[in-house]
């Protein structure tokens, strides 16, 4: 073997590995949709095709295998002898069945040892004949007749032989070509062979009238093959195998009726084409590609057959999720203001962290009073001590519940209401979705309610986290707007101005020795207090207008509505994921058809 052949083999093995990887990827994708029933059979086909590809790769160094298959009396042995140019290479005769075991022919002894070892059967016989020089690079196999009494016990060995064949010659008797048993037996193997590696032969055509053969028998036979194999035969060779022996030994009453014979074309294909060293590599690569393409075509056919129902199911799921989310958000909107009644406390706490100066002190004090004010006033009142303590605890709980709604919102009642609305909407639409899924090939178990809600685990927490983020974002945005430098200067300036003025007068009188009276300080205190409280009151009006609880929740809700398409990803329903996998395969199949 020269270096060029080594290189060609390495390249070929690389291409074979690519085809096997394609099948493994397809199998992995199908494995992601276990509920889609056609996928189980397709996964099995992927595994079988991958195993056959492994077999082709393992026997890459072996000679090309050409197998003849046909019923008793079809002329397989005669055709084999004619192709080899050796009349007695395979036994022929009138006793039926002529071939009752599998015979492997080779030009040189030992060429068939590897194949015989793989077949591992007692009914395999090997023969070699140096005269068969036409098949230096080919192993010829003559199989048992498909209609013999013993054929049923031979079926496993014939199947193993066909699976290891690089070319299959299906021989039919032209006088009785429509043998249903022969066609049915071969049907399962046909997809594994491409056009040039699958050859149909009508033998004994010399026994029929030429016009009838061309105008009636051949067209009718081609249609019969198409129906039986579900694929059209690329070509049918009409031959007389006996007429091409070195010594036909015609009976005087059985001379050929005409000279129409396509044996030379068949011989050109078989001998001058496949009996080439380089052709072995090319043919096996082609067979591997054919195996891969067949499985992909089968997968494409199945997914496209179910695409309409599956697309309908996908549309229904999308519509269902959208409605369910809308209902969930409506539940948030209905209960949000009532549950988050302490948002104004959080607003003042955020503002107290941002504001400086006298207004910052007032905002901080007010934030504390909002939390403790009600309880403190209740304690200072006369009345029952137990009720006073309970009122104080109630005021504390108002702030605690509000913060919990932001920090751990799934514990809040509004999230429970939202999730309840979501579940009800999903359950309401699931029967119609399940019907479309079953029509699209999914297992009937998808009808169960558990399948409808299987992807909602953690949905409440995810939605609550998003809602909390939306609320917190709105609070941050509004408090930042209300804490701008200009706003702080505007509201701090009156109090700072009076404080500065009073301070300047006090210092001036102190250094001049003219001390101010107590009435001055009393009036100054009340003036500063009035200005401070008046400024804070106006600031409160601005805060109420810009950052009220209603306004915050309304804006947060609008933000969620704008994110509705992204929120659909919250439901990780495994049935939906499997449906998306199958539809992706359908899209791939459609793209390959264009």
Assess contact for 354 and 480: CB atoms under 8 A: yes
Assess contact for 263 and 85: CB atoms under 8 A: no
Lowest mean pLDDT, pick from 66-70, 449-453, 590-594: 449-453
Q: What is the mean pLDDT of residues 483-507?
A: 88
What would the pLDDT profile of 548-579 be if each residue is shown by its tens digit?
A: 777 777 787 777 766 655 555 555 678 888 99
Q: How far apart are alpha carbons 163 and 52 in whole angstroms? A: 7
Q: How far apart are alpha carbons 112 and 142 in whole angstroms? A: 13
Q: What is the mean pLDDT of residues 470-483?
A: 86
Q: What's the predicted TM-score (pTM) here?
A: 0.53
Burial, 25: exposed, middle or buried (Cβ in 10 Å; 0-12, 13-18, 19+)? exposed
Helix (H) or strand (E) holding 385: helix 385-407
pLDDT exceeds cutoff 70 at 399:
no
In this structure, the strands spanning 167-173 and 102-106 are unpaired
Mean pLDDT (the chain) is 77
Assess contact for 583 and 310: CB atoms under 8 A: yes
What would the pLDDT profile of 2-32 be if each residue is shown by its tens digit?
A: 446 567 677 878 888 899 999 999 999 999 9
């Amino acid at each position: 073997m020269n270096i060029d052949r080594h290189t060609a083999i390495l390249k070929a093995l690389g291409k074979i590995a690519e085809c096997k990887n394609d099948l493994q990827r397809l199998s992995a994708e199908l494995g992601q949709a276990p509920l889609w029933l056609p996928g189980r059979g397709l996964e099995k086909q992927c595994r079988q095709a991958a195993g056959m590809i492994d077999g082709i790769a393992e026997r890459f160094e072996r000679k090309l295998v050409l197998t003849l298959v046909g019923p008793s009396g079809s002329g397989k042995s005669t055709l084999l002898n004619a192709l080899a140019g050796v009349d007695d290479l395979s036994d022929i005769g009138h006793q039926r069945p002529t071939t009752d075991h599998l015979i492997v022919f080779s030009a040189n002894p030992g060429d068939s040892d590897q194949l015989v070892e793989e077949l591992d059967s007692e009914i395999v016989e090997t023969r070699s004949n140096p005269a068969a020089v036409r098949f230096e690079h080919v192993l010829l196999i003559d199989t048992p007749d498909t209609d013999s009494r013993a054929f049923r016990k031979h079926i496993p060995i014939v199947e193993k032989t066909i699976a290891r064949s690089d070319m299959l010659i299906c021989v039919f008797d032209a006088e009785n070509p429509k043998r249903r048993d022969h066609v049915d037996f071969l049907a399962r193997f046909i997809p594994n062979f491409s056009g040039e590696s699958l050859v149909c032969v009508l033998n004994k055509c010399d026994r029929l009238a030429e016009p009838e053969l061309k105008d009636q028998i051949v067209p009718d036979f081609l249609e019969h093959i198409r129906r039986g194999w579900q694929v059209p035969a690329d070509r049918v060779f009409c031959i007389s195998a006996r007429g091409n022996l070195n010594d036909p030994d015609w009976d005087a009453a059985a001379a050929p009726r005409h000279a129409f014979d396509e044996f030379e074309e068949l011989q050109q294909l078989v001998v001058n084409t496949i009996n080439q060293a380089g052709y072995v590599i090319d043919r096996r690569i082609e067979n591997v590609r054919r195996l891969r393409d067949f499985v992909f075509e089968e997968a494409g056919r199945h997914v496209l057959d179910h695409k309409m129902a599956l697309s309908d199911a996908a549309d229904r799921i999308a519509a269902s999720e959208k409605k369910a989310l809308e209902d969930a958000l409506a539940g948030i909107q209905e209960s949000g203001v009532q549950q988050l009644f302490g948002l104004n406390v959080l607003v003042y706490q955020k503002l107290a962290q941002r504001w400086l100066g006298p207004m910052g002190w007032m905002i901080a004090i007010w934030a504390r009073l909002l939390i403790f004010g009600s309880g403190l006033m209740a304690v200072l009142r006369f009345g029952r001590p137990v009720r006073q303590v309970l009122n104080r605890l109630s005021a504390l709980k108002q702030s605690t519940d509000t913060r919990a709604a932001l920090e751990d919102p799934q514990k809040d009642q509004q999230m429970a209401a939202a999730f309840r609305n979501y579940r009800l909407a999903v359950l309401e639409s699931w029967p119609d979705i399940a019907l479309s899924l079953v029509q699209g090939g999914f297992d009937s178990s998808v009808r169960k309610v558990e399948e409808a809600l299987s992807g909602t685990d953690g949905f409440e927490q995810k939605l609550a986290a998003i809602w909390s983020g939306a609320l917190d974002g709105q609070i941050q945005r509004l408090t930042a707007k209300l804490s701008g430098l200009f706003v702080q200067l505007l509201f701090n300036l009156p109090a700072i101005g009076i404080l500065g003025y009073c301070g300047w007068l006090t210092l001036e009188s102190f250094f001049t020795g003219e001390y101010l009276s107590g009435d001055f300080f009393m009036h100054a205190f009340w003036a500063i207090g009035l200005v401070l409280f008046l400024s804070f009151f106006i600031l409160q009006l601005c805060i109420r207008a810009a950052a009220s609880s209603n306004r915050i929740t309304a804006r947060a809700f609008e933000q969620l509505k704008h994110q509705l398409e992204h929120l659909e990803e919250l439901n990780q329903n495994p049935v939906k994921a499997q449906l998306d996998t199958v539809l992706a395969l359908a899209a791939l199949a459609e793209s390959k058809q264009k």
